[in-house]
Chains A and B, each alone.
Chain A
């Protein structure tokens, strides 16, 4: 008898869950669902949570003002966030669910290049707008519905390297470290080219696996080339912190630059404040500014971890999207919304104007240019030491 009850309970759970999933399709009229697709679990989670946090802060603001005004209707914005686990197949499933049962037309994310390239054929075919921070060069090619929310290595490498040459004339020999995948290959290739053009010698270029935590062997090889500066490129910040620590422990005395996805809190956490001292990177915002403090407070309502600068990108991207929808006067005609977004440059971003470019490199003006700061880690905190001028 007990067995029977157990079985019945199990069956009931499964059935009710399926019914629940089906019922989710019936949605309230006045709600507009915006999708978030990012790595919410595992090593890439910092960036995925930044997408989610930025989107939710923007949605809270618009809802507090009575919702999104589209024509004569006001929509309450609801964020639907799914995890892609940094896996292409999970991204495809999550996107199918967003586009199908959830009826989402606008998605913030993803960041992983593999995830983005896997869903791109579907989003282009079904006209789903993506705001991504995926850095692969192939992202914007042959696409009409993808916007890239911030500058990539392609855009800033000449400027950051020029800054390095100007401020550190003794640095001649560069070593670069990047992840062994599309993101890392692409950014390392561009960095190597840009360093070469600037007259600096790249003496070592190494790749690591994303799940790696032990870099002693890699660093033995790297340090044997006697670099003056190590470029950490697009390495995920927690991993970058481990590399910094292990390199210092193997006796490396030179400079670290991280021109690509910086996160002071994460690097200090894994490297320790002593070893992280003096590491230079780029940031979307000034950690000492009132804007940062405001977003940080809003972010803390949604997530427990320390806010990273990518929140600026996705907070602005969400606001840009909302403005585009209001301007187009429709939340369903995707082509009209895309056109409205294209026409809204320059858009007032949180720290400065956002402009569009990219036609030359990618064939479409969907690359968003944002203000960019140079930040150095001093006593465990980020201090702005300069600003990057993108064209």
Chain B
């Protein structure tokens, strides 16, 4: 993209991000918050796609973040920012530990492995009623606040979520542009060569995988403290699949792709809400049409042919 195009894109992004403040409607804020939360999950999945491994366990990591944050804030009495950080550390640590073993598996086997892992994480929430509350989930999760500043009102929470998305994007861009990104690209270009130069590529992939779990956990923590209620089925493989579809719709080659996808897919069911009976069919058909006719996603369309 040229410099002018970049500027236009940045302006458009800013306009979309600020639009809910202009609309000022409670429901628009609600949908915008869900776009931010689900968009973060899509970004987390995007990171795993960047290491060439489709992880279907990201919904599970979002669940780990949500449950950890909820339990830390509600039962351990930690303030929201600390609960959020705690949830991120826990999810990232679990991913790093698992990554040592599971990242050795590649390709479709990795997708299936993480499919099993994602289902297993949710079943753990269902089976162990103490402390996770079983199918009933956890309720009475304290609303988010930053010190004395309450984030309970929707506009305030949206502002916070927006800031978080922005910071996460900066961090992810840094990660992909920095050493790990370079290592990963050289691996993609010439794996034997970079191996012979002694790069410990598994360690780098593990770092990116842990980062992806951390982003998923942020998404989970925001979800828990926004809704005040969580239950296991919100984090099953279906949630990951939705995030995956966001990446496909938005374009997997672009960092903005998952967010573009979230921006389209989160409000989409709302458009079909009046026709309950046909809602799923219309949704499915739109997805199939997008995949068949726009295989590089809408993001790919906007970016032109400059990136593969």
Contact = CB atoms under 8 A, between A and B. Distances in A.
Interface of A: 3, 6-7, 10, 14, 17-18, 20-21, 25, 40-41, 81-83, 87-89, 92-94, 96-97, 99-101, 113-114, 117-118, 121, 180-182, 185, 209-210
A17 B276 contact: no
B264 interface: yes
A99 B26 contact: yes
B233 A83 contact: no
Contacts of A14: 264
B27 A101 contact: yes
Given A40-B276, A180-B134, A181-B135, A88 B271 contact: no
B82 interface: no
B233 A96 contact: no
Contacts of A18: 267, 271
Given A7-B301, A18-B267, A88-B231, A100 B135 contact: no
A366 to B, nearest CB: 20
Contact of A6 (B31, B137, B293): B293
Given A100-B26, A118-B139, A180-B135, A88 B301 contact: no
14 contacts: A3-B293, A17-B271, A92-B229, A93-B31, A99-B27, A100-B26, A114-B135, A114-B137, A114-B229, A180-B134, A180-B135, A181-B134, A181-B135, A182-B136
Contacts of A20: 271
A83 B276 contact: yes
Contacts of B27: 96-97, 99-101
Contact of A181 (B34, B136, B301): B136
Contacts of A114: 135-137, 229, 231
Given A99-B26, A100-B25, A117-B139, A89 B234 contact: yes
Top 8 closest pairs, chain A to chain B, by CB? A100-B27, A181-B135, A182-B136, A118-B229, A17-B271, A96-B30, A100-B26, A101-B27
A11 B211 CA distance: 34
Most buried by A among B25, B136, B264: B136
Contact of B229 (A3, A6, A88, A94): A88
B273 interface: yes
Most buried by A among B126, B135, B233: B135
**Residues of B contacting A: mostly:** helix
**Residues of A contacting B: mostly:** helix
Interface of B: 25-28, 30-31, 34, 126, 134-137, 139, 227-231, 233-234, 264, 267, 270-271, 273, 276, 279-280, 289-290, 293-294, 301
A92 B27 CA distance: 11
Contacts of A93: 30-31, 34, 270
A41 B267 CA distance: 20
A118 B227 contact: yes
Most buried by A among B25, B230, B233: B233
A185 B136 contact: yes
A281 to B, nearest CB: 24
Given A18-B271, A82-B273, 16 more contacts: A7-B301, A10-B290, A88-B227, A92-B30, A93-B270, A94-B273, A96-B26, A97-B30, A99-B27, A100-B26, A101-B25, A114-B136, A114-B137, A181-B134, A181-B136, A185-B136
A373 B228 CA distance: 39
Contacts of B290: 10
A81 B273 CA distance: 9
Most buried by A among B228, B229, B270: B229
A149 to B, nearest CB: 22
A209 B289 CA distance: 35
Given A81-B276, A113-B136, A114-B136, A100 B30 contact: yes
Contacts of A6: 293
A100 B154 CA distance: 12
A235 B8 CA distance: 57
A87 B233 contact: yes
Nearest to B226: A92
A88 B234 contact: yes
Contacts of B280: 41
Contacts of B126: 180, 209
B271 A21 contact: yes
Contacts of A21: 267, 270-271
A96 B33 CA distance: 12
Nearest to A16: B271
Nearest to B152: A125
Nearest to A90: B269
A88 B273 CA distance: 17
B3 to A, nearest CB: 25
B137 A88 contact: yes
B124 to A, nearest CB: 14
Contacts of B294: 7
Nearest to A119: B229
Contacts of A97: 27, 30, 270, 273
A218 to B, nearest CB: 16
Contacts of B228: 118, 121
Contacts of A40: 276
A83 B270 CA distance: 11
Contacts of A88: 137, 227, 229-231, 234
A335 B139 CA distance: 26
A249 B171 CA distance: 61
A161 B28 CA distance: 50
Contacts of A10: 289-290
B146 to A, nearest CB: 20
Nearest to A179: B135
